[in-house]
Structure 1
Amino acid sequence: MTQNDSSTQTIHDGGNDAPQPPQDSSARRPAFNMDDLPDLRDNAPDPDALRKAEFTTVYDIIDSLEEMITSAKGSMFSPSSVKIDRDDFLDKLEDLKTKLPVQLERASALMREAEGRLANANSQANVIISTAQARAANIIRDANERADYLASQEKVTEIARQKAKTMIDKAQAASDRLTSGADQYCIKIMNELHSQLGKMTRDVEGGLNVLEEREAKAREELPHAEESDYPQD
């Protein structure tokens, strides 16, 4: 085999809008803003496109290494052996080692963002439940005050008692509806966020596995000098 350049080496190729809880018109306005809740609509930014953009640089480097090997010319007597520029190959590999930690940090940032969104949704859920409970307590208190007033009137004691009972029953039913609606809404939000977090975790782990496999394969296929590559007397 003829040696043309000290930086050329032989390498063997092994093969080629979320719903809002029910509200009572007579109650005070809630203390939270529904616009602050996570955006789970169909037109929300595509997380798959964002993850692809995060890994584009590393993938480009790996693809260029693969292209360098697959496009290299083979030997007439050993088709699986090709010559590549060792310096260029090592430069690209070093660039990959430099950029890979940055891409992994970006993936970790995506995970932290998802966890933050989940924590924010949980906080919003607590606000919804607290607001519903406060409104229910106000309704029951108002009903009791109205009942006391009616009971104090002469000749209307029995009527007041019946009206009070009716008002309390209605207030309790309204309280139950508010609490149940808030619970169901919170469960739905947290389930959707849990599903998104799980998918994001699987995507990131899949990306890391691909990078690790390609890096391991690249290390195995690094060129090694053979005795025939050295100058002969």
Structure 2
Amino acid sequence: MGSNDFVTLFFLVAAVLIFFQLRSVLGRRTGHEKPPLDPLAQRDQSKDPADDSKVVTLPRREEGNGEDRFAAIDAFAKPGTPLNDQLRELTRHDSAFNPKEFLNGAKMAYEMVVMAYADGDRKTLKTLLSRDVLEGFESAIADRESRGEVIKSTFVGIEKAEITQASVRDSEEQVTVRIASQLITATYDKAGALIDGDGEAVSEVNDVWTFARDIRSRDPNWKLIATEAEQ
């Protein structure tokens, strides 16, 4: 065998070895990879990887010492205000809580819930709502479907979202958010006739939603536990 043939054979063997090493390190896609996480989920490395019901993840804030752990709170709500005091108390129980990140997740969850309700998407609603709220949404969807009615909605956007209250009750942390949004929504009967709303006009919607999470649970997800429409 000539020197050129030997060099060619050497690189061929090296390429094969590198391929198998990369395959063992990177693995192969099997179709069972973990999907994204819940909009209101805080990152928790101790979470059971088998839980695949999430949609979007939120980054976990680094825990600090002393007043450093409240820096995100003071940047979000003016020190000395009732909201600042409430958020500080919540953070004493849940050091990973970051109000700005939570609010971003709440806005994402709001849009998902509104659109899932309009589409009759029970699967998405189940991941974001508490049992009591889910039962109410499912009942309304079933009632609508029984009449053959269809809701067509377009989510225009959120004009304003703010945390109005935060508390810890027993082992449950609760955060209330006021959201002002814009929607185009219309309800049609089974014959296709418009019976409610407007298929073209943008309407202003004001809601107050409360989210909750069990601090003792390894599940990082928040659930919508109460809704209220503001006039």
TM-score (norm 1): 0.24
If the length of structure 2 is used for normalisation, what is the TM-score?
0.24
Higher RCO (CA < 8 A, seq sep 6+): 1
Larger Rg: 1
Instruction: Flag the structure with higher helix content.
Output: 1
